Amino acid sequence: MFGRIGYSTGASNPIEQFYSLGAFSRGLVPTRDRDTCGLGYYHANLSDEIRPFLNVHSEQGVEFFYNIEITPWLHITPTCR
């Protein structure tokens, strides 16, 4: 399980609040022990400075990811939103 929370005043960052949570586990291929996959949800509230330009107040979504270990120092992570 994982969770993240972010907050700013909106003066220096276009995102005032950000929340995400999800779960991840080992990859789906039995012979690839170091791969991981997961599913997460996020919600972002935009600052008043950027709202007039985009005509939105917030954004939310769901993301599936699969992290493939090529070498211990190189990982590729395709995502699907």
Give pLDDT tens digits for 37-58. 999 999 998 887 776 677 778 8
**Mean pLDDT of all residues in 11-18:** 84
Which distant-in-sequence residues (6+ apart) come within 8 Å of 50 by Cβ?
Answer: 14
| CA angle in degrees (0–180, nearest 5) for 47-22-49 | 5
Above 90 in pLDDT, residue 72? yes
Contacts from 30-34 at CB under 8 Å and sequence distance 24+?
Answer: 32/68, 32/69, 34/69
12/75: higher pLDDT: 75
Residue 17, pLDDT score: 92
* Total-model pTM: 0.72
Structural domain total, the chain: 1
Residue span of the structural domain in which 27 resides = 2-80
CA atoms of 13 and 18, how far apart (whole Å): 11
Which of 3, 21, 7, 16 is CA-nearest to residue 57?
16
Q: Please give the pLDDT value at position 20.
A: 96
